[in-house]
Structure 1
């Protein structure tokens, strides 16, 4: 019997929204959650806007000890895991812990805690030779991103495969893709998977300022993220987390659950070209899309919606448009495309999982979320990007794509479970 993987629980912490209901309400309404940075004084920076989560670890259920021990990204992951489990109504106490695994994605790990602790041990940068006596006992956890996956594994009691995927901005797609592979190959029956990042810190802003990847449109933060718009000039940094309960379809059936979506196909490719540059022809992303569709046994004409990477940089939006045309052919022009980064910013490694959550909810609600702030279409980006307003449409098959620094290109096909025969 062929094993298949279905999403049966979703937990979301996003800018402007905590939980799947508020997350979907934000996307469906086309509201933006981008604002001037409040975590620190952004005045010295070229880009001074971000998409911040309204999150308090104690209010959101963590103990004081957990809040002290864990970086914000790990806090997101644990709270997101609890929300996903509650949504799935899965009782882990009756399962075999050796058949339960964890895959979490993160691009930059414990950035906020690492920066904070470096300031302390270096006495505000005054000392080249840092004083370890002033370091917190959890500093090693901040250095090793896999500690985030460990925290989730401890939370759920997972004794199966546990790992962290860090492939830049495709981490959220790649982590779920890897988890689905573990389910379909028989290594686990249930995977807790997704991605988290909390990168809004001075060091991150400085890095993106240096390469001019983030927008300098500081005067009106709500409209700063403009994917596919002629006036776009960079992305808005964000943060957040999405965690899923991913089950083998038979395991879900036995407890009477259909699920949100089946992970039907996944593929990734690299361009072996440039750390941040992209070829305009989109060949590598197109190849990832073709491979994901082939694995899902899905024709290009069956794709009902494309959830775009849509970062809002000049080169990415052109590259992605070309890739969708190259892989879907004429059907690309008949398929709605949109970028939720226009509303919740670009949370680096986490965004791919947040986009998967949006795809699953789009299927559930038969609604394509819009691309906000798209007022002036770029002639070079000539597909249907669902500008400004959500669109009612039955969505059975979704293609979600991601592009990351280092040349990573990933694609995932999600299908409505009833259509997939579950």
Structure 2
């Protein structure tokens, strides 16, 4: 009998919602978490807005030593993992540690720790040669992104396969896809998986300012993130994490676990085209969607909701609109689509996992989150983008997609527990 991966626990640290339920409440209320940056003085930058997480590591249960040792991104991941494990109801102490795996994604690793240490060691950039003895003892860990996965593995006692997946803005989808594969191939019975990024620092702002990818709507931060709106002017940077507990389906059902959904299809593709550019026809994303559907043995008409990448750049929004039409045909005009980046911004590698968490909750509660700030649709984006208000909607299968610098394109299908038989037929 084939092994199948299901989601039994969800943990979230997100702008506007620390914890799974506050996060979901914010999404369904259509509230935005974008504001003027407070983590540093953004005055010198073209884009001065972001979606920050109101995160207090001590209040979240981290010890002084953990706070001292871990970069903000690692703190997000560990706190999210704790919530996900508690939500799953698993007793990991009685689970063979070699059967527990970890798969964590991140696009930019320990950005904040690295930048803070560079500023200190170089005296704000005044010195080319620096004295390493002034650095924190954990500086090496900041330079090795895999420490993010290691921190989660230590937290949950995992001695099975442990990996850091870094594929730009699709890292959060790809890490979960890898985690599901570990279960399906029998390498692990439980996988703690997701992604984290805390990129809100001057160096990140400068990089995106240089290519004018982020919104300069500094006078109205709340409405700066406007996916699919004709007046959008770039994406809004963000930070956050989401971690899921995934289990082998038969074992999860045998212990009476609450199953949010099953991962039934996943695929990734690359456009081999341009570091930041996208082809207008959406062919590579469409191909990822088609392969994911094929692996799930589902027809395009099976998709009941699409969680769009929806970054809020004209290039991306038009690209994925074309991809949905190319992969789903006429059904693309019948299925609701939305972008939660309109509310929580774009947290780079973390956002894919945050969006999968939102999809799992949408399946569980049968509610589609809205696209906030969408008041006048771009005529080239002519699908049902669920503007402004959440919508109750019957869903058995949801599709979540991601698009990343470097040409990465990923697609993931989740099915409601008990809704789809193996092989794609609906019950």
Band of TM-score, shorter chain: over 0.9
Cα deviation, residue 254, structure 1: 2.1
In structure 2, C-alpha distance between the alignment counterparts of 1:115 and 1:123, rounded to whole Å: 12
* Match of residue 69 from structure 1: 69
Q: Does 1:230 align with 2:230?
A: yes
In structure 2, C-alpha distance between the alignment counterparts of 1:92 and 1:420, rounded to whole Å: 29
* Match of residue 16 from structure 1: 16
Cα deviation, residue 38, structure 1: 0.3
Q: What SS is found at the alignment partner of 2:137?
A: coil
Q: Which runs of 4+ in 1 moved over 3 A?
A: none
Contact 2:266–2:292 under 8 Å retained in 1: yes
Q: Does 1:314 align with 2:317?
A: no
Alignment of 1:247-266 (within 5 A): 247-266=247-266
In structure 2, C-alpha distance between the alignment counterparts of 1:41 and 1:361, rounded to whole Å: 35
Task: List alignment gaps of at least 5 residues for structure 2.
Answer: 423-427
Contact 2:396–2:420 under 8 Å retained in 1: no
Q: What SS is found at the alignment partner of 1:237?
A: coil
Cα deviation, residue 294, structure 1: 0.7
Cα deviation, residue 420, structure 1: 3.1
* Match of residue 391 from structure 2: 391
* Match of residue 245 from structure 1: 245
Alignment of 1:39-54 (within 5 A): 39-54=39-54
Q: What SS is found at the alignment partner of 1:115?
A: helix
In structure 2, C-alpha distance between the alignment counterparts of 1:375 and 1:413, rounded to whole Å: 28
Q: Does 1:127 align with 2:131?
A: no
Contact 1:258–1:418 under 8 Å retained in 2: no
In structure 2, C-alpha distance between the alignment counterparts of 1:52 and 1:185, rounded to whole Å: 38
Cα deviation, residue 421, structure 1: 5.0
Q: Does 1:340 align with 2:343?
A: no
Pick which of 252-261 and 95-104 moved more. 252-261
Alignment of 1:158-177 (within 5 A): 158-177=158-177
Number of residue pairs matched?
422
Task: List alignment gaps of at least 5 residues for structure 1.
Answer: none
* Match of residue 216 from structure 1: 216
Contact 2:71–2:142 under 8 Å retained in 1: yes
Q: What SS is found at the alignment partner of 1:238?
A: coil
Q: What SS is found at the alignment partner of 1:288?
A: helix
* Match of residue 290 from structure 1: 290
In structure 2, C-alpha distance between the alignment counterparts of 1:122 and 1:33, rounded to whole Å: 34
TM-score by length of 1: 0.99
Q: What SS is found at the alignment partner of 1:263?
A: strand
In structure 1, C-alpha distance between the alignment counterparts of 2:164 and 2:247, rounded to whole Å: 19
* Match of residue 83 from structure 2: 83
Q: What SS is found at the alignment partner of 1:234?
A: coil
Q: What SS is found at the alignment partner of 1:27?
A: helix
* Match of residue 402 from structure 1: 402
| CA RMSD in angstroms, aligned pairs only | 0.8
* Match of residue 325 from structure 1: 325
